[in-house]
Chain A
Amino acid sequence: AQSVAQPEDQVNVAEGNPLTVKCTYSVSGNPYLFWYVQYPNRGLQFLLKYITGDNLVKGSYGFEAEFNKSQTSFHLKKPSALVSDSALYFCAVRVDSSYKLIFGSGTRLLVRP
């Protein structure tokens, strides 16, 4: 069965510092990987995806993620964090033959001024 794990409940970082939000996955097949962000009482907003090709994927709001097949990871990164980046971040995975998107438990990012 496919699954995705976000090992950190919360990540704290100072504004201007780089940030990393971790995600690992387990699938039998080719993974499609996604990152979403959620602000309080709102729906999820799509940030970026990896389907195939270049392992470094660039997305919205200056975020990027690196696909690492040997470590089965897809960590979200940003070179310089903003206070407005504070939100709940979700990693998700689907296998290429499936319609279902499976989400991780979420990581709360807190960027302090």
Chain B
Amino acid sequence: SQTIHQWPATLVQPVGSPLSLECTVEGTSNPNLYWYRQAAGRGLQLLFYSVGIGQISSEVPQNLSASRPQDRQFILSSKKLLLSDSGFYLCAWSDQGGGELFFGSGTQLSVL
């Protein structure tokens, strides 16, 4: 069966520090991968999605970037965090057929 791993679960970082959040999927190949951000326990904002290695689509211009160095690995990064980057970050995958998304357990990021 397929599983998605996302870490860390909680992260507290100072303003101006770098960020790296990692997500990996097991039990499937060539998945679509997604990064969402959820603010204040409400709506989800799509940040990036990827349909293949090295293929990244950005939805919102911001202080973040994403990379997909391997088929089942998706990384969210920042060179210098801002206070506004705080939030709950969720990684997800779907198959290439365009079905439902399956989410990781999320990372609560607090930028102080």
Q: Write the residues of chain A forming the contact surface with B, with a CB cutoff of 8 angstroms.
A: 32, 34, 36, 40-46, 49, 51, 88, 90, 92, 94, 96, 98-106
Are A99 and B32 also in contact (CB < 8 A) when A41-B106, A106-B42 are? yes
Closest to B90 in A: A43
Which residues of B (91-110) have their CB < 8 Å from a CB of A? 92, 94, 98-106, 108
Chain B residues within CB distance 8 Å of chain A: 6, 32, 34, 36, 41-44, 46, 49, 51, 57, 59, 88, 90, 92, 94, 98-106, 108
- Is A49 in contact with B100, judged by CB distance below 8 angstroms? yes
Determine the chain A residues whose CB is within 8 A of the CB of B46 once the complex forms: 100-102
Secondary structure dominating the interface of B: strand
A102 to B106, CA, bound (A): 18
Interface centre among A46, A92, A99, A106 (most CB of B within 10 A): A99
Closest to B46 in A: A100
